[in-house]
Amino acid sequence: MARRAAARRARKAASRRIWTILVSACVTVAVMIGYGVADMVDVVPGVLTLRPVHTRTVPDPLTARAAGTIADDVDLTIPVDSHAAQQIIDEFAATANIGTSFSIAIADGQGNIVAERDAGTPRQPASTMKTLTAFAAASTLDMGSTLDTQTYLIQSDGNVKTLVLKGNGDMLLGEGQSDPDHINGHAGLGTLAKRTADALLQRGITQVDLVYDDSLFGTDRTPNNISENNAEHRYCTPISTMAIDGGRQWNEEGVSKPTNPDDSSQYPVLSEHTAQDTAAVFAQRLADNGITVNGEPTAGTVAAGTSALASVSSAPLNEVMAFMLRHSDNTLADEFGRLTALKRGTGNSIATDTQAVADVLREAGIDTQGLTIADCSGLAPGSQVSVKTLVGVQAHNLTAGSATAAAEGLSIPGLVGTARRRIVSGDDNGLYRVKTGSLDTVTSLTGNVSRTNGGVLSFAVIVNDAANYWEAAQAINVMAAKLPAL
């Protein structure tokens, strides 16, 4: 009897399981059908719909033009009329109020100087020094790489964790979200904070101590005597592993922040503690994303080999170099010198930066006789460069190869950069790629020119101690305007 009762109970249990499965299957099918119907009528989200699909059509053009050749390989062999070139130099030399402390050289597409005046005499170059630094950096660094700003989580036994903000040289960070349409602000602290906060919250962490690691560039970051040409600290700040907007401070009366972050035409006072400023803003952005930072950020380091928690990337180095050249950013020029020295493994100081630049020039076969580099930007007093060296760099720019960024980043008169309002010769403006130089006692210009009758040339001019600085600059414009016709 007991066995028969157990068998009946087993049959009933099996029957219940079968009915349960059948009912569940029916309910599931009904729910799926119901959701599918709701999806088709757009009540719930999904890929199904009964609405008609609208296809955008583009009308045929009324007229069409065949594409023409807008660029071709440059012919470096077309000669430059040396007599005409010397006449341009003689006319420049006869200009009133430029004085006698000047050098000028014009070279053909292969770098052969065809006309000159004191081409081998070293003179103070001002910001044309940046062309030397740009060539050295572009010849050494991976110009498609980026400068990443990272966060690291340091585990500890206590309840409070340590978060490290580490910089790797991006001095054009933005305060908010990353902006892929601009160089300045390409990487944003707001984006880095959001990515970091998400990673922390996933680990159940809502409170951290914040440390900033600014150790990459060592302690020697400011060229000697640069303060002589850095009035009110507006033109240069010590190189740093991280900075917001190059350290520009926009709280000064009468100085307004431009709407375009890549516009560096104004010169507000620069911060002298950019890494600390960056960490303070980052702490605010963490708070905006639900992470409490205890106290003030402090300086420290992260151990090598530690994995990053989150990161943001600068614009590629070739774009940062263009920003540096076109806006004549002294701090970024000095930083490119430091990155070059570190890449070559020659040291981590101002002296090794300038030596690295000089070494790359010599290795490229550029004449460096009389070259003295006080800093990599040309702002510090003491640099001496001949126009022969400047022209040598430009000759290499015409066939740059891996150092293309040093040529492409130059200012274009009439269009972009510090030379935007220079030369102003109308139709010839787009034929120039140049770098300006300006100090109280210096005006200079170097670059290369596409000639209207074919071929190219390079040139350089330095004027020191002119009787009238403005007239000397105008004389350089007049001289340069004649070059495309050679």
Q: What pLDDT digit, counting tens, does each position of 247-297 carry?
A: 999 988 888 899 999 998 889 999 999 999 999 999 999 999 999 999 999
Alpha helices in 141-217 (DSSP H): 189-202
Whether residue 415 contacts residue 430, with contact meaning beta carbons closer than 8 Å, is answered with yes
Give percent above pLDDT 70 in the chain. Answer: 84
DSSP H/E element including 442: strand 442-450
> Do 122 and 181 lie in a common domain?
no
Same-domain pairing of 157 and 306: yes
- Scanning the structure block, which residue is given the tokens 């303070």? 280
Report d(CA 325, CA 378) in Å as an integer: 12
pLDDT-wise least confident of 91-105, 391-405, 446-460, 470-484? 391-405
- With vertex at residue 12, the alpha carbon angle to CA 11 and CA 18, rounded to the nearest 5 degrees, is 90
Question: What is the distance between the alpha carbons of residues 353 and 137, in angstroms, rounded to a whole number?
Answer: 10
Q: What is the domain range of residue 91?
A: 82-143+319-485
Domain identity same for 305 and 451: no
In tens, the pLDDT along 113-150 reads 999 999 999 999 999 999 999 999 999 999 999 999 99
Q: Are 480 and 380 contained in the same domain?
A: yes
Structurally, the chain folds into a number of domains equal to: 2
- Helices and strands in the chain: count of H runs, count of E runs: 11, 13
pTM, full prediction? 0.85
pLDDT at 58 over 50: no
Considering the domain architecture, whether residues 233 and 287 belong to the same structural domain is answered as: yes
Phi, psi torsion values for 85, nearest 5 degrees:
-65, -40
Model pLDDT, residue 21: 72
In a domain, 62, yes or no: no
- Look at residue 261 and tell me if it is in a domain: no
E strand intervals along 127-284: 148-154, 161-166, 170-173, 207-213, 242-244
Mean pLDDT of 312-337: 97
pLDDT value, residue 75:
87
Integer-rounded Cα radius of gyration of the chain: 32
CATH number at residue 217: 3.50.80.20
Give domain status of residue 103, yes or no.
yes
- Across the range 423-451, mean pLDDT stands at 90
When pLDDT is averaged across residues 422-426 and rounded to a whole number, the result is: 78
193 lies in a domain?
yes
Q: Are residues 354 and 477 in the same domain?
A: yes
Rounded Cα distance, 340 and 150, in Å: 21
At 374 the pLDDT is: 98
Measure the CA–CA gap between 274 and 265, rounded to whole angstroms: 20
Widest Cα–Cα separation across the chain: 131
Instruction: Say yes or no to pLDDT of 23 above 90.
Output: no
